[in-house]
Structure formats: C-alpha cells, structure tokens
C-alpha cells in the first residue's frame, strides 16, 4: 500500500493529501501526515487533476447563481411533480442531494469523485452511483488513533520482512557452506586418488627395476662364466694339452644362459607403456634422466639429449648399451624403444 493509499484510507481530502505529498517531496508517510496536521486550517492551493465534488453545497435554484443543465432538468422535473415555486419542491430537491458516491459492485462509499476514481483504478470497478449517505470526517482523536494503527501495521510488516530476510540469509549461508564442504571433499578425494596412483606407479617401477637388475645380473654372471671357459681353453691350447670342458660347468652354464636369456626376453617383451632412461656421456659428467613412451623412437632419445647439452648433435651422436653390450647404429634411430628391448628401463652411453 502506497503512502497516498494510507492517507486516503484515513479519510483525508485527496487534494490535501496530494498537496502534502508534493510539499514534502514524497519523503514518506510521516512527513506528509505532519504537513496535513500542521496546515489543517489553511486553504489547499489549486492542484491540477484533483476535483472536489462533495462537501460543498450546490447552488440552489433560487440563490441567484446560474445552475448547470443537470440541475435545470432536475428542477423542471420537481416543478412538474410538486408545482412551480412550492415549498414541497424545495424539500424534495434537498432530499435527493447526493452526499457521497457508492460503488455498485462492492458497496464502498467515497466522499468525493477523486476517491471514487482512485478506487476504480485500483479495483477495476466501473459502476458507481450517488448516495445520500454522508461520510463524517474523522476527529483529531480518530485521526491519531488511525495513524497509530497504521504505524503498528507498518512496524509489524517491517518486522516480518526482516525476519524473512534473516531466514533467507541463513538459508543462503547454509547452502554456501554446504557447497564449500562438498568442494573440499571432492578436492580431498581427488588428491587421495592421485596419491594412490603415484604410490602404485612407484611400486610398479620398483618391481620393474628389480626384475631388470636381476636380468642384468644373470647376464653378467653368464658372461663371466663364458669368459672363464674361454680363458681356460686358450691356456690349455698354449700349453699343448687337450682341453676337456667339464660337464657340470657346461651343463650349469647352459641353464644359466637360458635363464638369463629368458629373464631378459621376459622383461623386455612385456608391454610397458613407458620407459625410463638414464643417459651417460662417455666424456663424463652427471647423467640425464627422462621417461618416454615405449613407442618413442631412438631418434627421440637423441633429440632429448641434444636439447640438454650443446655438445651433442642428433646426426652424429652414437648410443650404446653396456648390459647387455650393444651399440646402436643410425639405422636403429627409426626403431622404437620396445623393439630395441630397452623397456621398462635402460642405461645408455652417448658419445
């Protein structure tokens, strides 16, 4: 309800209400009410758009002032019924004088046309009739009582609105906190999964390294035995005696070589998605380590090394492996690390 609605419901004159609202700059109900009470005895300035149709006596037919067409017609009808200039006609005219305007749809009574028009705009009602019922103006005590009631209603509405606002703020805060907790839980869960994934990857790397070291160690032992056999054979030939290869040694060497070959081929033949490489320079210095896809070519390894040090050229660098001993040619640069048996890890020498 607007300030004008509140003041009009208290029974104040619409022209005086509009004057008060304009004079106070529409600053609210209390300034307008104070203005009305302070200027109650003063005349209302002429404000366009406000008309008073009640509260003022209509000019009588015999008052010396001209009457409008409606009044002429009413007077002619009365004269036709009661006779011209009779006292009964004057009494009848006084009886039919409208004191207020009544809404035919809802039955509300209004003091003047301005209030009736305002009611029509708000409610959409369009049927009104004149009424002889007079609306008495509010006394000072009734005005004060009405104002106090309105203030109490406004305070109650304000309290309800503040309570609803506080409740809504509390609900929004709860939603915000819940969303924050959910986000923290999601982050913690993702972090936990990442840690588990990293731990599993490290565990696999350790197992693969252990298998690779076992294969290399077996190959070294097989190479040592083969060199010992070769040295013993050469010594026997130099001394001019026949060399007889011991059966246990040969028998043990064959299974050892077979086991070494089996382990080496088993480690290299597994489908490892990535390969960890340690590349050492023949001239010395700290090694370079990297992890590449097992499908990467040996040329990509050379390009990585060339990106780490200016002393290496991709077109001239040579790569070799100590265990098992193997030198790679430039024809091998187009082969993958899996095809060369360098998975899951290997140590290369660059020169």
Q: What angle do CA 114, 115, 121 make, to 5 degrees?
A: 90
Where do the DSSP E strands lie in 203-317? 274-281, 288-293
Token couple for 65: 């002032």
DSSP 297: B
What is the pLDDT at residue 95? 52
Contact 31/24 with Cβ under 8 angstroms? yes
Query: What span, in angstroms and rounded, lies between the C-alpha atoms of 315 and 244?
Result: 49
Q: For residue 122, name the pLDDT band (cuts at 50, 70, 90).
A: confident
Is the pLDDT at 174 greater than 80? The verdict is yes
What is the pLDDT at residue 58? 39
SS (H, E, C) the chain: CCHHHHHHHCCCCHHHHHHHHHHCCCCCHHHHHHHHHHCCCCCCCCCCCCCCCCCCCCCCCCCCCCCCHHHHHHHHHHHHHHCCCCHHHHHHHHHCCCCEEEECCCCCEECCHHHHHHHHHHHCCCCEEEECCCCCCCCHHHHHHHHHHHHHHHHHHHHHHHHHHHHHHHHHHHHHHHHHHHHHHHHHHHHHHHHHHHHHHHHHHHHHHHHHHHHHHHHHHHHHHHHHHHHHHHHHHHCCCCCCCCHHHHHHHHHHHHHHHHHHHHHHHCCCCEEEEEEEECCCCCCEEEEEECCCEHHHHHHHHHHHCCCCCCCCCCEEECCCCEEECHHHHHCECCCCCCCCEEEEEEC
Cβ neighbours of residue 317 closer than 8 Å, sequence gap 6 or more: 302, 305, 306, 350, 351
Contact 47/22 with Cβ under 8 angstroms? yes
For residues 300 and 61, which has the higher predicted lDDT (pLDDT)? 300
Percent of the chain with pLDDT over 70: 76
What is the pLDDT at residue 243? 67
What is the pLDDT at residue 304? 92
What is the pLDDT at residue 325? 81
Is the pLDDT at 10 greater than 80? The verdict is no
Query: What span, in angstroms and rounded, lies between the C-alpha atoms of 299 and 314?
Result: 8
CA dist list (Å): 218 to 27, 221, 256, 262, 324: 99, 5, 7, 10, 10
What is the pLDDT at residue 297? 93
Token couple for 309: 């040090």
CA dist list (Å): 57 to 49, 61, 98, 135: 21, 12, 10, 15
Q: For residue 111, name the pLDDT band (cuts at 50, 70, 90).
A: confident
Is the pLDDT at 32 greater than 60? The verdict is yes
Lowest mean pLDDT, pick from 12-16, 241-245, 275-279, 301-305: 241-245
Q: What angle do CA 345, 348, 351 make, to 5 degrees?
A: 165
Query: What span, in angstroms and rounded, lies between the C-alpha atoms of 249 and 318?
Result: 37
Q: For residue 270, name the pLDDT band (cuts at 50, 70, 90).
A: low
Phi, psi of 155 (to 5 degrees): -65, -40
Place of tokens 């366009």: 48
Q: How many Cβ atoms sit within 10 Å of the Cβ of residue 264?
A: 21
Q: For residue 219, name the pLDDT band (cuts at 50, 70, 90).
A: confident
How are beta strands 288-293 and 345-350 bridged, if at all?
unpaired
């Amino acid at each position: 309800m607007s300030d004008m609605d509140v003041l009009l419901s208290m029974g104040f004159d619409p022209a005086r209400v509009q004057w008060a609202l304009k004079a106070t700059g529409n600053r609210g109900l209390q300034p307008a009410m104070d203005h009305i009470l302070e200027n109650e005895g003063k005349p209302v300035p002429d404000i366009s758009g406000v008309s008073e149709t009640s509260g003022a006596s209509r000019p009588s037919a015999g008052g010396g002032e001209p009457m409008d067409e409606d009044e002429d017609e009413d007077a002619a009808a009365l004269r036709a019924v009661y006779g011209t200039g009779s006292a009964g006609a004057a009494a009848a005219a006084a009886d039919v004088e409208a004191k207020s305007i009544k809404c035919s749809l809802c039955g509300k009574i209004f003091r003047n046309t301005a209030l009736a028009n305002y009611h029509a705009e708000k409610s959409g009602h369009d049927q009104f009739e004149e009424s002889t019922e007079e609306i008495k103006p509010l006394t000072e005590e009734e005005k004060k009582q009405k104002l106090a009631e309105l203030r109490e209603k406004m305070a109650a509405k304000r309290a309800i609105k503040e309570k609803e606002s506080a409740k809504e703020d509390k609900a929004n805060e709860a939603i915000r906190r819940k969303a924050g907790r959910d986000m923290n839980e999601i982050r913690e869960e993702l972090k936990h999964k990442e840690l588990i994934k990293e731990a599993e990857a490290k565990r696999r790397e350790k197992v693969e390294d252990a298998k690779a070291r076992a294969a290399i160690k077996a190959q070294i032992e097989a190479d040592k035995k083969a060199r010992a056999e070769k040295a013993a054979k050469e010594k026997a030939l130099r001394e001019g005696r026949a060399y007889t290869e011991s059966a246990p040694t040969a028998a043990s060497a064959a299974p050892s070589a077979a086991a070494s070959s089996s382990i080496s081929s088993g480690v290299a033949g597994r489908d490892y998605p990535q390969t960890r490489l340690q590349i050492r320079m023949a001239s010395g210095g700290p090694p370079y380590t990297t992890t590449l896809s097992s499908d990467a070519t040996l040329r990509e390894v050379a390009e990585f090394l060339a990106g780490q040090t200016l002393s290496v050229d991709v077109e001239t660098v040579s790569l070799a492996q100590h265990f098992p001993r193997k030198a790679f040619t430039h024809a091998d640069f187009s082969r993958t690390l899996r095809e060369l048996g360098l998975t899951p890890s290997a140590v290369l020498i660059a020169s």
